[in-house]
Amino acid sequence: MRRPGGFPFVFGHAADWNTHMQLANARVWLTGASSGIGEALVAPLVRKGARVAITARRSGRLETIAARYAAGGVSTVLAVPGDVTDRAAVIVAARQIERAWGGIDLAIFNAGGSVDHDRQSAAEGGEPFLSNSYTATMALNYFSVVYGIEAVLPDMLARGSGHIAAVASLAGYRPSASLPYGVSKAAVIYLMNGLRFEVAPRGLGVTVINPGFVKTPLTERNRFHMPFLLEASDAAERIVRGLERGKKEIHFPAPLSWAMKMLRIAPYPVYERIMTRFLRRARAAAAAAPRR
């Protein structure tokens, strides 16, 4: 069955809400596309036949990525620079894509990172808790998703079709090492799972993506052992497969994600003991590791 807007869906039971999707000819908007998972997602999406609009602040980097997919003067990748922490800029980017392609079928809000002023301040003997760590990280990881949803939702609802995905993290399940980062990712998980109840009955799919440790510029700053560390290209392939299957949650790698799911429902004293040991070892490893 083909929904309006040229985005084909195959429906299961109505109560399933999320649906399988075909990426061929899909109009995809991808944020945070200049590096890491975002950059890695471009190749498998294009390989599946999608047109991909990529957004990040580094316009030169976006143009370089788009040029890889230009053939005969026609590119399947559209560079749309913008600051995802700026609501007006996000809306402008969405409208630019809609004008170019007539709509957005799949939005993947991937931009994110950690603005951890706390860690730097504590290392320098300053304050161990700074509010700007939280406000800056929430702006990047959470409000960028909020702005993106606001930008794409009206047209998707008008058509009665479309899919919204956002990259959160296994770190959002329960408190762990980086508090500002984990808080923001927990908010994304809550937002996406709540949004589904609002828009799925009106024909839209919603997916929350919870990766574990992935080799990116963000994790390169970590000075502790990261179990089951994945290459960004591997993470991207898993995400695309999950989106094609219409999964409500894409989580990986399985050994770590299922362990984290068990910890999420474990009694707090059990969780506290496990995390206390883990954090003690992580801090000791970080203290012993050479500074980069």
Q: What are phi and psi of 81, to 5 degrees?
A: -65, 150
Residue 54: phi and psi, rounded to 5, are -115, 135
163-195 burial, b for 16+ CB within 10 Å, e for fewer? Answer: bbbbbbbbbbbbebbbbbbbbbbbbbbebbeeb
Which DSSP helix (H) or strand (E) runs through 286? helix 268-288
Name the residue among 32, 281, 27, 268 with its Cα closest to residue 169.
Answer: 32
Q: Under a CB-based contact definition with an 8 Å cutoff, are residues 105 and 45 in contact?
A: no
Q: Which residues are catalytic?
A: 181
DSSP lists the bridge partners of residue 165 as 108, 207
Residue 25 corresponds to which tokens in the numbers above?
């000819």
97 burial (CB, 10 Å; 0-12 / 13-18 / 19+) is buried
- Tell me which amino acid residue 117 is: H
237 Cβ contact list (under 8 Å, min separation 6): 44
The H or E element that residue 70 is part of is: strand 70-71
> How many C-alpha atoms does 199 have within 13 Å on its Cβ side?
28
